[in-house]
Structure 1
Amino acid sequence: MTTTGQETAEQAMARMVAADPDRQLCVRFMPASVQPQAYALLALRHELLRAIAPGRSGAVAGPMAAYVRLQWWREVLEGTRRPEHAIAPLLLNAVAHGGLARGTVLRLVTSAEAEVEGGADVLAWQAMLRDGAGALQRGMGELLGLDSQQPAQAAVLDQLEAVGMAYGAGSMLRHLPVLAGQGRYLYPGMEAELRQAGLAWLETARATPLPPRWRVAALPAVLARRDLARGVAQAGRARGLGDRLAVMLAGLRCARQAARPA
């Protein structure tokens, strides 16, 4: 891995992952063998969000600068540009040897591009969330060994994608006033409709019990359920102890269930 200035690759990874404390906590319950790749995926999401920050300025140069940064990442992930970023080699190794689909990772770039474009189309917003939070959670399942070429496992990946979307909708609902002030691409409708969309995805995610070995990839559903119930009451505030304990207890249950003989 490359370094930036005096910052080591490990320090860079820790800094980027710390920007997503919710999913960082969830990843801690995944098998140790896949945690580095999972953290790299979280770090990529953070870097893409940083890349599009200028695109929210509304100035012509803002979106253009964001698109240039996103194109750089697209080329790195496609393997047509040298991976001169601390997390890039680990991501590319996960694609080559860890089961992470290149298409899943590239969808994160597509989602970031869609956020720069914005718009008032609900379907476009849903596609943005599906390629962002949804694809991120699908990637977690792929790192655990889920194979989209096997129908039963492909169905589990679809459920995990719904988990990611439910979490994304819940997180957006929770921080709606703050995100609006940052110029983020928000749900183009009423607050109640955003909640209903999140609840629908949560129901899809829970329609069929997940096999024990893959339940750990669905931990963000714990936070999605709590966020969708609360709404904007905690906008801009850090997670409370209750939220963290709920994830930890669910994570420990997942670990025990996965350890039981089949």
Structure 2
Amino acid sequence: MTSKYYNLRIACDDKLGIVAAVASALSGRGANIAECNQFWDARTNKFFLRMGCIFPEAIAKDTVELALKPAVDRYDIKLKVEDKTRKPKIIIMVSKFDHAMLHLLYQIKTGWLDAEVAAIVSNHEEARALAALEGIPFHHLPVSKDTKAAQEAKLLELVHETGAELVVLARYMQVLSNELSTALFGMIINIHHSFLPSFKGAKPYHQAHERGVKLIGATAHYVTPDLDEGPIIEQETERVSHAMDAEDFVATGRDIESRVLARAVKYHLEGRVMLNAHRTVVFAP
């Protein structure tokens, strides 16, 4: 019979016996725990657990949740069960700079990222030809102050129609409204071309160059109504020098952005990211 792989994410107040109760429930259904990560936040007394479980038969998700219900009720657990044998769908949004999108598409093509791109969305036409070459539906959704609400309504409709589980802002140079950011909270990842919380807003590499910094970087974070202040998933820095001009900073930054965004998307799709108030717990492999 076909086996089934589920990813379990658990968050609750820390108490004695949580792991034992969960493991016992899974064992009772014949599951083999293939991967296990846990973290106790001593400051808030919150406990986070991620388990990758292989069941010997094609057991339904509802059955897994039912088996865990006694532990969920006893420890007031927030539980999320994800079928990892199913390829998740994503929507990539891009403006004119396409380096981060190209890197995502390449990593999907090689199999390092396990995802299906349901659509490429842009407020410009430049990405249409690439989408056609890759056989990906392209949606040109131009936006202005007067059309922003209608444009975002179309985007939200597209998310529902495609069943996309994640929207990736691969250098999409538009600020999302508070309403959309709230509606898709935890489902939108942005790559910020700077090492947040420093140098927010426009042209951060030029800001960094002006200040004479010795390290530049990029930050992948969840989008929230607070601009560039969402929970951070992944970051990376690289050393620069006084001999480099602002465009050298930009070129270096583009490489960093592509890598950081791809890792953040991978961690999210593999269920390795758990929200902890304004921060994240990331069980990187």
Shorter-chain TM-score bucket reads under 0.3
Q: Which structure has the highest strand share of the two?
A: 2
> How does the TM-score come out when normalised to structure 1?
0.24
Which protein has the bigger helix share?
1
Larger RCO of the pair (alpha carbons < 8 Å, separation 6+): 1
